[in-house]
Amino acid sequence: MKRIGILGGISYESTVKYYDLIHERYFERYGDYHYPEVVVFSLDFQRFTDLEDRGDVEGYVAYIMEGVRSLERAGVDFIVMAANSPHAVFDEVQERSEVPLISIVDVVAKAAEKEGLGSLLLTGIRFTMQSTFYQTACSRRGIEVVTPSEAEQTEIDRFIFDELVVGSFREESKRRFLQIIGGYNVDGVILGCTELPLLVSQEDADVTLMNTLELHVEAALKYSMSGENR
């Protein structure tokens, strides 16, 4: 069994869910207590976000690599970055890392292709919605990715940073988010922030929701148990 490294703190709410869900899914599948070993390194969320907002790619990658190096020193066999946005620099981080990383973006694109989804609405923080890493990965599989309007992006970004990352879940925000995604004629919606699954679930929506956190955890557990990532 491979030791899992979680690069977290971005935010703590989703990091906790990663840790919980890895163990929950393991027990559901195997029914024993031989849980995979997990090491968590929690980044400074404000520093991370400031680097993101400033567009300081060099500083951003360097700070992510501080966490990666700490996990490597702790003896992890592979790493998951417990957020969508750092996958904007996934290739740069993977190139410098001494252990494999599992890409949340590749996992989601593969799942969407398997489900036959031809068009997806990308939601998340503004940084993610205004980046192109999901579009690039999905286009390789013939999947179109669209984003909400600028005004809607601002609303979604506010839901995440003002509420979800600090554990505040407001019914009015949930209703508004569902209203936004309901306005797009797509096959599925990427919950492209690992806090968004804390706000809405598949039972709330008429369209397929791609729960990036859950899909990433499933891929990490599979890789930990069997070494399979594809």
Task: Say if residue 165 is in the same domain as residue 206.
Answer: yes
- Provide the domain limits for residue 83: 4-103+214-226
d(CA 83, CA 11) in angstroms, rounded, equals 8
Q: 7 near 42, Cβ under 8 Å? A: no
DSSP class of residue 124 equals S
Phi, psi of 210 (to 5 degrees): -90, 100
Task: Say if residue 97 is in the same domain as residue 21.
Answer: yes
How many domains is the chain built from?
2
Full pLDDT tens readout for the chain, 230 residues: 999 999 999 999 999 999 999 999 999 999 999 999 999 999 999 999 999 999 999 999 999 999 999 999 999 999 999 999 999 999 999 999 999 999 999 999 999 999 999 999 999 999 999 999 999 999 999 999 999 999 999 999 999 999 999 999 999 999 999 999 999 999 999 999 999 999 999 999 999 999 999 999 999 999 999 855 43
Q: What is the pLDDT of residue 82?
A: 98
Task: Give the CATH number of the domain where residue 24 resides.
Answer: 3.40.50.1860
Task: Say if residue 117 is in the same domain as residue 84.
Answer: no
Task: Say if residue 25 is in the same domain as residue 70.
Answer: yes
| 156 Cβ contact partners less than 8 Å away, ≥ 6 residues apart | 123, 124, 125, 126, 129, 148, 177, 180
Which three-class secondary structure state does DSSP give residue 58? helix
Q: 198 near 164, Cβ under 8 Å? A: yes
Task: Say if residue 156 is in the same domain as residue 91.
Answer: no
Token readout for 221 is: 């557990």
Task: Say if residue 122 is in the same domain as residue 193.
Answer: yes
- Report the b/e string of 161-193 with b at 16+ CB within 10 A: bebbbeeeeeeebeeebbebbeebebbbbbbbb
Residue 220: how many CA atoms within 13 Å on its side-chain side? 34
d(CA 43, CA 49) in angstroms, rounded, equals 10
Q: What is the pLDDT of residue 226?
A: 86
d(CA 41, CA 126) in angstroms, rounded, equals 24
Q: What is the pLDDT of residue 229?
A: 44
d(CA 22, CA 221) in angstroms, rounded, equals 6
Task: Say if residue 68 is in the same domain as residue 85.
Answer: yes
Which three-class secondary structure state does DSSP give residue 84? coil
Task: Say if residue 81 is in the same domain as residue 178.
Answer: no
Which three-class secondary structure state does DSSP give residue 102? coil
